[in-house]
């Protein structure tokens, strides 16, 4: 049922183990993620809009409204979706910053919506690539046309607007509703028995149905999910698994095929399972997540080891130098894991979210927020050259971050993730609050019986491992803190009621239940000293190598620091932290010289110019 008081969050299930806290209840106020949100709002959003204009992807809607298509249309068949992701990012940024209705972001948002609205046809159809004189017919290329995919992103943008500015008279929610009604008419029971070649409409319809109280949209999402695996799409050179059309979702045992498609479908299927109380489907998705995380996910959290089809490889097929690890696949993985976390409360899902955020999503944008990685290799063999700052790069071809790509799905995907990131910090249940991600911030949640669980978070994480929570309201409730899987030896300190206690806590999660009083302090201390990680011996591509991690961050060796090509580096000792830097004793095979060499956080690599780089370093 429609809930006008739903939190301002991307995912708001009507049932499940945990309830998400929206942007009005959880806010990042600084630190690592606060800096990225600031750059996203100050630079990235304007950069994206500028390129949507200059590349012609936003003007495509003007051409559609003027009736002059296909002449002058620019961009790939899915370019409409980047405009919708940009609108979603703007909507979350407006909600995050509590921007006034007449502020700059709001004006930009409304102007883009006006242009999109003008392109919508009377029956609700909206696409600039299909359906008009001189273009291919509607729904005529479901394998590659991306019509439903684009609408899925439109629906997610409308959800963001509905949840951050409910009742705003800008038209976007109405645009989405009309388009969703058309999809249900065309593809519902008795309609076209088909799916889209790129999953996304499933997750968009499910969340739009939640946001607007339209069960019909959720039912249509469920119908699309159930149709996957029936071979309704044409077979291709990479097989129907590329589209996840080879095995029904509930019968699959691992994510396979195109990594973004697989994660988007799994996120939508989780929504459907939760809303339909379908425990069988949910358990299947949990099994798929388990095997995918264990056997098909890089140490960075990245997913996808095939370049040719942007796809998962087989189990243990994780070559460092051929890692595709698309940024959008990382975003999709977070979407899937977050939904499973809400459904089950299992801290392992938050662990993978943290790993992926720090080592995939945070790696993509440059410090100025105006250049990006599309793919995220774990071993750069060739230094490469800087991208043309005014140019458009082929996807995944640049060894340094590029300002825009011919397929530029990643920049607006990063932007919408950063703008909504506060909604992924914490959750609530009937008896308390669960803190999943650590950043300076403010949390305030009203529990069902009227108790208020409120606290401030002070931390330098991940630079240091102290997460200090100061209670702001008197109330008795349960605080649950995630203890990452890598954090053996973590300590919990409670300063409350004039008494102090300290204990060691195991990886997983720890509960603190007590009558909290304003000023009480709970501190979780995580061991963030550098550690050596060995690969599973079944990953033959990096057998005999190690990676160095520190807290949630994976570290990397760059040739700028090594003084030669990193292909010649061999580990010669244990890592140590000195003067705020992690130093690793290395031997240079080419010279047999040995020295301590500083490592960089993987998310910071390639910020000092062309270099070779590797995450997995041989031990002999």
**What does 99-116 look like in DSSP terms, one character per residue?**
--TTSHHHHHHHHHHHHH
Does 107 score more than 50 pLDDT?
Answer: yes
> Count of CB atoms within 10 A of residue 153's CB?
28
pLDDT score recorded for residue 385: 85
**CATH T-level fold of 426-525:** Immunoglobulin-like (2.60.40)
CA distances (Å), 460 to each of 23, 150, 338, 490, 525, in order? Answer: 21, 39, 24, 16, 11
What would the two tokens of residue 386 be?
Answer: 């800087």
Alpha helices in 345-451 (DSSP H): 347-356, 410-419
How many Å apart are CA 399 and CA 492, to the nearest integer?
A: 42
How many Å apart are CA 589 and CA 376, to the nearest integer?
A: 26
> According to CATH, what is the number of the domain 19-424?
1.50.10
CA distances (Å), 343 to each of 265, 273, 275, 277, in order? Answer: 16, 10, 10, 10
Q: Report DSSP letters for 64-128, one per residue.
A: HHHT-TTTT--S-TTHHHHHHHHHHHHHHHHHHHT--TTSHHHHHHHHHHHHHHHH--TTS---S
Alpha helices in 120-250 (DSSP H): 147-164, 172-187, 201-212, 215-227
Q: What angle do CA 581, 582, 583 make, to 5 degrees?
A: 110
Q: Where does the chain hold its CATH 2.60.40 domain(s)?
A: 426-525
181-231 tens-digit pLDDT: 999 999 999 999 999 999 999 999 999 999 999 999 999 999 999 999 999
Does 398 score more than 70 pLDDT?
Answer: no
What would the two tokens of residue 538 be?
Answer: 């079944």
294-349 tens-digit pLDDT: 999 999 999 999 999 999 999 999 999 999 999 999 999 999 999 999 999 999 99
pLDDT score recorded for residue 1: 41
Average pLDDT score over residue span 59-82: 98
Average pLDDT score over residue span 467-479: 98
Percentage of the residues of the chain whose pLDDT score is greater than 70: 99
pLDDT score recorded for residue 397: 64
Mean pLDDT of the chain: 96
pLDDT score recorded for residue 567: 96
528-556 tens-digit pLDDT: 999 999 999 999 999 999 999 999 999 99
Residue with tokens 């996304």: 200
What would the two tokens of residue 324 be?
Answer: 């595709």
Strand order in the sheet with 432-435: 19-20, 426-429, 432-435, 475-483, 508-516
Q: Report DSSP letters for 436-504, one per residue.
A: -S--SEEEEEE-TTS-EEEEEEEE-TTSS-EEEEEE-S-EEEEEEEEE-TT-TTEEEEEEETTEEEEEE
End-to-end CA separation in angstroms for the chain: 61
Residue 583 main-chain phi, psi, to 5 deg: -110, 140
pLDDT score recorded for residue 395: 75
Q: Where does the chain hold its CATH 1.50.10 domain(s)?
A: 19-424
What would the two tokens of residue 323 be?
Answer: 């890692």
CA distances (Å), 486 to each of 27, 351, 542, 599, in order? Answer: 26, 9, 20, 19
Percentage of the residues of the chain whose pLDDT score is greater than 90: 94
How many Å apart are CA 28 and CA 222, to the nearest integer?
A: 34
Does 265 score more than 60 pLDDT?
Answer: yes
Does 4 score more than 80 pLDDT?
Answer: no
Residue with tokens 């061991």: 527
CA atoms within 13 A on the CB side of 533: 22
Does 45 score more than 70 pLDDT?
Answer: yes
pLDDT score recorded for residue 158: 98
Of 204, 312, 193, the C-alpha closest to 262 is 312
pLDDT score recorded for residue 96: 95
Confidence of residue 394 (pLDDT cuts 50, 70, 90): confident
Residue with tokens 């409204």: 65
Residues 6+ away with beta carbon under 8 Å from 230:
245, 248
């Amino acid at each position: 049922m429609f809930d006008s008081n739903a939190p301002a969050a991307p995912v708001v299930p009507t049932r499940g183990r945990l309830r998400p806290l929206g942007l009005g209840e959880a806010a990042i106020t600084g630190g690592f993620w606060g800096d990225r949100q600031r750059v996203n709002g100050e630079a990235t959003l304007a950069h994206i809009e500028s390129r949507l204009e200059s590349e012609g992807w936003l003007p495509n809607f003007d051409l559609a409204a003027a009736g002059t298509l296909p002449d002058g249309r620019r961009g790939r068949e899915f370019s409409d979706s980047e405009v919708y992701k940009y609108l979603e990012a703007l909507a979350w940024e407006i909600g995050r910053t509590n921007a006034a209705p007449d502020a700059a972001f709001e004006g930009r948002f409304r102007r883009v919506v006006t242009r999109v609205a003008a392109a919508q046809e009377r029956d609700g159809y909206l696409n600039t690539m299909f359906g008009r004189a001189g273009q291919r017919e509607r729904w005529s290329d479901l394998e590659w046309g991306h019509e439903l995919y684009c609408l899925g992103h439109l629906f997610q943008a409308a959800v963001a607007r509905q949840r951050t500015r409910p009742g705003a008279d800008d038209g976007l929610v109405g645009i989405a509703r009309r388009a969703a009604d058309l999809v249900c008419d065309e593809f519902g029971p008795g309609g076209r028995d088909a799916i889209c070649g790129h999953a996304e409409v499933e997750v968009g319809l499910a969340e739009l149905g939640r946001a607007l109280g339209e069960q019909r949209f959720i039912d249509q999402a469920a119908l699309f999910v159930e149709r996957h695996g029936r071979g309704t799409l044409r077979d291709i050179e990479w097989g129907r698994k590329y589209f996840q059309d080879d095995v029904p979702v509930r019968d699959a045992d691992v994510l396979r095929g195109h990594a973004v498609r697989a994660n988007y479908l799994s996120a939508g299927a989780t929504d459907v399972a939760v809303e339909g109380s379908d425990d069988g489907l949910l358990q299947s998705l949990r099994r798929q997540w388990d095997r995918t995380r264990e056997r098909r996910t890089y140490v960075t959290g990245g997913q996808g080891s095939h370049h040719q089809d942007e796809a998962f490889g087989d189990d243990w097929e994780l070559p460092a130098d051929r890692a595709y690890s698309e940024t959008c696949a990382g975003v999709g993985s977070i979407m899937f894991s977050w939904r499973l976390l809400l459904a089950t409360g299992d801290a392992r899902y938050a662990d993978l979210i943290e790993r992926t955020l720090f080592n995939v999503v945070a790696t993509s944008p440059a410090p100025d927020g105006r250049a990006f990685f599309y793919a995220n290799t774990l071993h750069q063999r060739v230094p490469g050259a800087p991208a043309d700052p005014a140019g458009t790069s082929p996807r995944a071809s640049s060894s340094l971050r590029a300002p825009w790509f011919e397929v530029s799905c990643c920049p607006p995907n990063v932007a919408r993730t950063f703008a909504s990131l506060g909604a992924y910090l914490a959750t609530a249940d009937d008896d308390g609050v669960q803190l999943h991600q650590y950043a300076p911030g403010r949390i305030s949640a009203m529990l069902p019986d009227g108790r208020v669980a409120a606290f401030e978070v002070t931390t330098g994480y991940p630079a240091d491992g102290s997460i200090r929570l100061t209670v702001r309201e008197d109330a008795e409730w349960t605080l649950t803190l995630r203890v990452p899987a890598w954090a053996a030896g973590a300590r919990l300190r409670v300063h409350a009621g004039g008494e102090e206690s300290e204990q060691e806590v195991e990886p997983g999660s720890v509960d603190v239940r007590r009558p909290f009083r304003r000023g009480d302090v709970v501190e979780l201390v995580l061991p963030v000293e550098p550690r050596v990680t060995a690969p599973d011996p079944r990953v033959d591509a990096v057998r005999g190598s190690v990676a160095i991690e520190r807290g949630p961050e994976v570290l990397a060796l760059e040739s700028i620091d090594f003084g030669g090509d990193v292909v010649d580096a061999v580990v010669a000792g244990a890592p140590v932290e000195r003067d705020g830097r992690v130093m690793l004793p290395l031997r240079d095979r080419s010279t047999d010289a040995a020295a301590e060499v500083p490592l960089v956080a993987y998310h910071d690599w390639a910020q000092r110019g062309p270099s070779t780089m590797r995450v997995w370093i041989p031990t002999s």
